[in-house]
Structure 1
């Protein structure tokens, strides 16, 4: 795969990871799903695990794209940008994240 392909994969993984971590939170789950978080404790636990795994895979994709020193920098910037993108989505159109919710 080319460097660009790895970076696109890293971006997608970082965005989905941050969205899954946000959906694992009680407040954001209720905001997106319009039902109490207490109804889906196992789903939220699964989302937390998927979020962490996606961020780890994002780091690995960055490492495949470039040397370790640059990959770490790109990964940190991707996580920051993804967190901002998810936060803006939650404040503007939270229902867009419903597609990433499992339950």
Structure 2
């Protein structure tokens, strides 16, 4: 008389629980708030923001240059003439306006 024994139900439940736990942590590592996909998204956004920062810094440098050229210590007469004519809407006698 040979008797077959079934594996204990507790062992099967333990291994099923461990497999489900492994799947959960794997999913969280890939799709979660701190997962691989979120990291790639944050890196892409950081690249876009760095490019925007470079554009803004160039704009600030240009405006600082214009401000320095109109300051009391360094006066660029050509820039002053251009700005005055733009603000007042005036032209010189030797200029032609094309609309």
Q: State the structure with more CA Rg.
A: 2
| Same fold, TM-score > 0.5, yes or no | no
- Taking structure 2 as the reference length, what is the TM-score of the superposition? 0.29
* Structure with greater contact order relative to length (CA < 8 Å, sep ≥ 6): 1
